[in-house]
Homo-oligomer: A and B are copies of this chain.
Amino acid sequence: MELKQAFDTVRQRSVSICAPLQTEDYVVQPVVDVSPPKWHLGHTTWFFETFVLQPNLNGYQVFNTDYNFVFNSYYESVGARVIRTDRGNLSRPGVADVYRYREYVDKEMGKLLAQDISKELHALITLGLNHEEQHQELLVTDIKYILGHNPLFPAYQEDYNFKEQPVASSHFIAFPAGIYEIGYTGEGFCFDNELNRHKVYLEEFSISSALVTNAEYLEFMKAGGYTDFRHWHAEGWDWVKTNKINAPLYWHEVDGDWMNYTLKGFRAIDPSMPLAHISYYEAAAFAAWKGLRLPTENEWEAAAPQLAWGERWEWTESAYLPYPGFVKAPGAIGEYNGKFMVSQMVLRGGSVATPPGHSRITYRNFFHPPLRWQYTGIRLAK
């Protein structure tokens, strides 16, 4: 019964996020990393249809066999997939069809959830809900990208209620050298990449109590941070020059003032707020300019109980790699995390776009170094 309630709550939340959209906003894909909102709605539904209903609900009828082709993402085990860049070319199935698909699957899931659920099935459905929560965060950031790259700069909601707070004054918190335990422990849900819990030895370190603000980052910009290669990784410097980067994503200089696109529309930069929408390269360059560095993910996790976190995903200096004893689950579900453990950096914390309760201090988010469309920010260490 609790699972039924969780299911209904999570599923409804995806729909609520899309409520302010016009039909056209559901369809487009301005860059490869952003997916059309209707794809997110369909894909999360397809997950339940394919991995939960088909193997577990007697007599389940697939809604539309063509949808596997359209809403599969990267699960190589399950049929051919649409080339990812093509998602924005597909006008059909339309938005109304996708909502019908959701209703159909939700109804069937209701039948299943009214039955006795094995422990394995319970875990699988819980995974599906956490999967959908991940796509809810992407829904928010992808919608922001779609609207924020439209020359009309339409607001998502004029009166959108941000959960953001100005950054409190900061100080460095010191931690002694020694052995720390890292990784998930407990009874609740966690992703496979948070396991196994294991010991690490950390040298002594200090970590900032607060995130870097827009004001601090503007100082970096005014000091010529984007034009001095010495602060940058070689790869980051190439990225700056190739893409002519001179500010965070969504920032625009208008008559000498820095403005940015927000979900409420086009606004002046608020200097007291935490910086957002920067790449790993920018995070590392800012830290180098300060004579400091980013924390490792282990340092972050060790320090987390003493930190305020959750408004911005925080780039760490750690690459996304398996923990000691990491084991992939068998079958398609095993493709969930392990296959991405190369060439990405770990982010810790959570953001204003993260569903409530979704993250935790052992949570490992990961993105490629140049990506900026998530609510990414900076916490310094030394």
Interface residues of A in 226-259 (CB under 8 A from B): 229-230, 232-237
Q: Please, which residue of chain B has its CB at the minimum distance from the CB of A204?
A: B324
Partner among B76, B233, B318 whose Cβ is within 8 Å of the Cβ of A237: B76
Known A-B contacts A94-B22, A199-B201, A343-B343; the reply to A88 vs B28 at CB < 8 A is yes
Question: Are A88 and B89 touching (Cβ within 8 A)?
Answer: yes
With a cutoff of 8 Å between Cβ atoms, the chain B residues found around residue A66 in the complex are 151-152
- In angstroms, how far is the closest chain B Cβ from the Cβ of A182? 10
CB pair A150–B92 under 8 Å, yes or no, is yes
User: Assuming the A-B contacts A230-B76, A236-B342, are A152 and B24 also in contact, with contact meaning beta carbons closer than 8 angstroms in the complex?
Assistant: no
Q: How far is the CA of A113 from the CA of B381 in the complex (A)?
A: 43
Interfacial chain B residues near A15, Cβ < 8 Å: none
List B contacts of A230 (CB < 8 A). 76-77, 334-335
Answer whether residue A29 sits at the interface, using C-beta atoms and an 8 A cutoff. yes
- Of A25, A27, A149, A198, chain B has the most CB atoms within 10 Å of the CB of A27
Closest 8 CB pairs of A and B: A319-B319, A30-B89, A201-B201, A24-B91, A76-B229, A203-B324, A25-B91, A234-B339
Enumerate chain A interface residues (CB-CB to B < 8 A).
22-30, 38, 66, 69-70, 74, 76-77, 82, 86, 88-95, 146-147, 149-152, 154, 177, 179, 198-203, 205, 229-230, 232-237, 280-281, 284, 293, 317-319, 321-322, 324-325, 334-335, 339-343, 345, 369
